[in-house]
Structure 1
Amino acid sequence: MELRHLRYFVAIAEHEHIGRAARVLHVSSSPLSRQIHQLEEDIGVQLLARVGRRVQLTEAGKVFQREARETLARIDRAIATAQAASRGEVGRLRVAFVEVRRIAESIPPAVRQFRARHPHVTVELVPMRMREQLEAFDTGRIDALEIDALLTFRVGREPPGFNVEQLFTERLELMVARDHALARKKRVKARDLVGVPIIWMPRDGAPFYYDLVRTALNDHGIRPDIVVETTSPIARLSLVASGMGVTFALQSEPFKGVVARPVADLRLDFVGVLLSRRRVSPSSPLHAFRDILVAAAQRNA
């Protein structure tokens, strides 16, 4: 049985006349009649009863007509969906991101703009801590997670198979409690941090940035006094506000009771990047999402 047999049968059932169905289908009556006879032989059931010049559905034919219509409708939907997917109009995007304000705030306008252009593409947002990203990169689990794009910070070892595009650079600043002695300075220097308790992240959480701060301080002859380590940026700022020490954070991460002070002789840059899968079809909606993010980054540069 072939797909055309179903279409032929449905047309005859609707018109109850082989000749009229043949004209609609642009085929001759005799070959059409033979095709229906072949269909009945294939399934072993009589579908049509001839009554004079007309045909009527048997009980089996009525059941088969309903199923045939549903089958043809599903096939037509499948074809239309496949064609839309080939144009990048339907599908799914899984976008992972680091839960940092500068990155998180860049996502909603990009998703809104993308959905306005591609309303039938589902966008799934997947928050990932830096440690989770590194583990996913190192173990290859990033592929199992089916992540299409990742908004994150450059960590020095991006996964293979991804394009890396810089979106922004933001300087880390020293975060101190409002009543801390360093809060009275407009600009802090590295030597001001000698003996000052520092709250930072554990090295296995983000080795690239852990080493960035430690190396920068070591270059000034300072051995950082790291008293607390936590992977949570909010927890670090909360400890700072409590007077437990100071930390480094992005200026775009304000926190009540904490003030930011630039460290004049330390260059501590966080580089925001977009990682997007390299091997995708030309029609993939990923290209449009990437273009929106890159264009927004260029406007805000």
Structure 2
Amino acid sequence: MELRHLQYFIAVAEERHFTRAAARVGIQQPPLSLQIRQLEAELGGPLFVRLPRDVALTELGEAFLPEARQILERVARTKRRMQQISRGEAGHIRIGFAGATYFEPRIPAWIRDFRSRYPDVQLHPQQSNTASLLTALVEESVDAAFIRTPFEVPEGIVSVLVVDEPMVLVLPLGHPMCSRERVPLAALARDEFILLPRDISPALYDRTIAACEAAGFRPQLGQEAPQITSIVPMVAAGFGVSLVPASVSQIRTPGMGFWPIDAPQGEMPLAPISLAYRADHGSAALERFIAMMPSQGTQGTQGTQGTQWAQGVHGA
């Protein structure tokens, strides 16, 4: 049984006439009659009663008609779905988020715009850390990931810079520098710094160390935080100070606050976010997602934005 057999049968059933049905499907009447006889032989009985002026469905034909329609509708629906997937208008993307990257405003805005434009593409978010997400990309358990850079790129992985996010200081209320509007890093040389373990977030760890060394001191390392969102309550609890991406200042906990770093614009510590994905991913939906990536602004604009986020939240 072929799809054309179903199409021919439905045409005859609806037209109740072989000649009109043949004209409808674009073939001659004799070949149409032959196709119907072949279908009847395969199904084991007649589908039509031949009358002088037209035809009528037999009991078998009445039972077969809704089944034939459902099959063709399912085939048409499947075809449309596959065409959508091939164009990137449907499907699914598993997206990883590392180091609270979802707090950076451009990322949720990007995802919101993509979902609005392609509602039939399902996005499946997964939260983890940079190291774990890179492994997941290689193992193909995620399709793309927002990660903190720089990092050692595994073979076959592509990364594209999304934004150079500025960093800000997290201080406990009562710290001597709380009275300042902007705090120089050098003023924290005697404080203990709360960092993420380097093996899960090498980019933030290395950039914090480098920023302190550029300010003239090697930071004293205190207790490590299990994840970036844990840093804020740990600072509030008095475990030390820290340096975090500016978008983390959206987390508010009593007993702490965020301060802009007092540094020349070109020397502001940054926490870049990149989108990483497999070079051979083969997903049209992911290609559309990548194509909608927001344009990268200048460092000067980003540094100013980070300062605005930090201003006014000193006494969280």
Provide the TM-score with structure 1 as the length reference.
0.83
Offset from partner CA, 1:95-146 (integer Å, 9 cap, x none): 2222526645323322332233323322333322335324425xx33x0x2x
Letter of the 1:151 partner, please give it: F
1:287 aligns with 2:287: yes
- CA drift at 1:215: 5.4
Q: Measure, in 1, the Cα distance between the counterparts of 2:202 and 2:176.
A: 30
- Cα distance, 1:86–1:207 mapped onto 2, change above 3 Å: closer
Match for residue 40 of structure 1?
Answer: 40
Matched with 1:98 is: 98
Letter aligned with residue 108 of structure 1? P
Distance 1:115 1:261 in 2: 34
Q: Give the superposition deviation at 1:35.
A: 1.0
Matched letter for residue 240 of structure 1: V
Find out whether 1:187 has 2:186 as its counterpart.
no
Q: Select which of 167, 173, 176 maps to 1:178.
A: 173
Task: Give the deviation of 1:86 after TM superposition.
Answer: 3.0
Q: Which residue of 2 aligns with 1:249?
A: 244
Residue identity opposite 1:290 in structure 2? I
Higher mean displacement: 255-264 or 176-185: 255-264
Any idea what the Cα deviations from partners look like across 1:191-218, whole Å, max 9, x if unmatched?
Answer: x444422222123222343244345556
How many angstroms does 1:32 deviate by?
0.9
Q: Distance in 2 between matches of 1:189 and 1:214?
A: 11
Q: Describe the shift of the 1:261–1:16 C-alpha distance in structure 2 as closer, same or farther (beyond 3 A).
A: closer
Cα distance in 2 for partners of 1:165, 1:225 equals 33
Structural RMSD (CA) = 2.9
Alpha-carbon shift at residue 18 of structure 1 (Å): 1.2
- What residue in structure 1 maps to residue 259 of structure 2? 260
- Please list every run of 5 or more consecutive structure 1 residues that lacks an aligned counterpart in the other structure: none
- The answer to whether residue 24 in structure 2 is matched with residue 29 in structure 1 is no
DSSP 3-state at the match of 2:49: strand
- Residues 167-225 of structure 1: per-residue CA shift (max 9 Å, x gap): 221333332113112334543243x4444222221232223432443455567785543
1:121–1:155 CA distance, 2 compared to 1 (3 A): same
Is the contact made by 2:110 and 2:292 (CA closer than 8 Å) also made in structure 1? yes
| Gapped regions of structure 2 (runs ≥ 5) | 303-316
Give the aligned partner of residue 278 of structure 1: 279
Matched ranges for 1:175-254 at <5 A = 175-185=170-180, 186-190=182-186, 192-214=187-209, 217=212, 222-254=217-249
CA contact (8 A) 1:98 1:151 kept: yes
Q: Do the aligned residues in 2 keep the contact of 1:251 with 1:260 (CA within 8 Å)?
A: no
2:104 and 2:71 map into 1 onto residues whose CA distance is 44
In the alignment of these two chains, the number of paired residues is 293
